[in-house]
Structure 1
Amino acid sequence: MSLRLFSNRFVHSLPCLRNATSSVIYRSFATKKYTLNHEWISVDNNVGTIGITDHAQQALGDVVFVEFPYLGKEVVKDEQVSAVESVNSLKNIYSPASGEVLEVNDALVEQPSLVNDSPEEEGWLMKLNLVETADMDSLLDETGYAKHVESLSK
């Protein structure tokens, strides 16, 4: 039984959990993956939401501008699709999966600091309609990403 199916059944079978939190949280937790370049992707119903990790935003400093791909653009896994500019540097964003750009986070145009304040929630960058969910297989889970970040500080 997949973790997603187990999580949904488990949460819905216990009223105290069902009322305390939605299965969407469990679903995104179970499907969030990370790249070695410090991007994350969370998949729900074949739509991947992409952003940068907390580690990446800390390294960047204060974000002042986010460059977005155009809607409808077909992107390929590991292709540069965006950039995040801070007062100190520029970080190119590489797509963790292949797909079509469905949406960009327009809130970042007026408030790019959301990337610093909430990099893995409100500061997401774009959403893709995924072409191949197998792209997720080569990405790191939360534990693997934490080990990767830890290895960088040694």
Structure 2
Amino acid sequence: MTEALEKEAEKSLLSMTLANNIFVVFIELSQNLMNYTKKVEKEFDTKGLILVGKNENDGYFVYSQNVVRKEDADKIKKILEHILSLSKDEIKKIYRELRRAKRDSHQKGGGIGFYEIAKKSKKIEYSFEDIGNDKMIFRFKAIVGKD
């Protein structure tokens, strides 16, 4: 991922700030994918997807998709709905408070990482699709922006 971002930065004259934001979002979504996928039963195909792309309207985005338990989907949805109700300044304030309190650590998944993603992104979108057996497909897109 680092090499791909470096090549894109050189080719497209990508700023270090934007490249760093893309990388941070990618890492956070990778951690979420690993944390939640571990909780899904072994016999189920738990492969996930993370994609970094660019389009003309929004610029760069990071997209992820993975299977989660319904119980985890409910927790994630609650956090994301709260984040979407906040201003950028409120997101930054809560992020700082969570860092200071050392609550919702990265190891537990689904806490501070989503605030960090929201802080680094221009917009976030998500959806859940019920696939039965108490499992859902979690789709998440962070639009990081144009340079």
Please confirm whether the aligned pair reaches a TM-score higher than 0.5, indicating the same fold: no
Q: Bin the TM-score by the shorter chain.
A: 0.3 to 0.5
Structure possessing the higher relative contact order (Cα contacts under 8 Å, 6 or more residues apart): 2
Larger helix percent? 2
Task: State TM-score, norm by structure 2.
Answer: 0.32
